[in-house]
Structure 1
């Protein structure tokens, strides 16, 4: 999604902060928390665990926080996901 405007009039946003073979460590969570204002989710999937942060309703806030997350080693490829309400 990058820096483009939201696609839908009413959206919820999530930061996908990575896909890992195992659960996030306490160290990883402690690196993320100071940079985000929403909950951190570690969603189990068949081949690993998806790291998600959200949900967000404020597009400007999610842009700020994904930019901050990208400065942390291991989370440089974080991106925004938009979900229509």
Structure 2
């Protein structure tokens, strides 16, 4: 499993650290969304960690291509992307 750039940890290790910290410092077991939905903090942390690591990976790719003076790139999402 690739390591997250920020802390040289796997995504699962980062999730565990977030969940543990929220449990200890804030006694948080659920995240409550604006619509009232209650999400277990572990599920929320997994989604947030994976989303942030994807953003960081993409930003790193773009930064590296800029450094390499790449002029054109093809960017695409999966078939389900709107």
Tell me the TM-score normalized by structure 2: 0.27
* Higher relative helix content: 2
Q: Which structure has more strand as a fraction of its residues?
A: 1
Which structure would you say has the larger Rg? 2
Q: Structure with the greater relative contact order (CA < 8 A, sep ≥ 6): 1 or 2?
A: 1
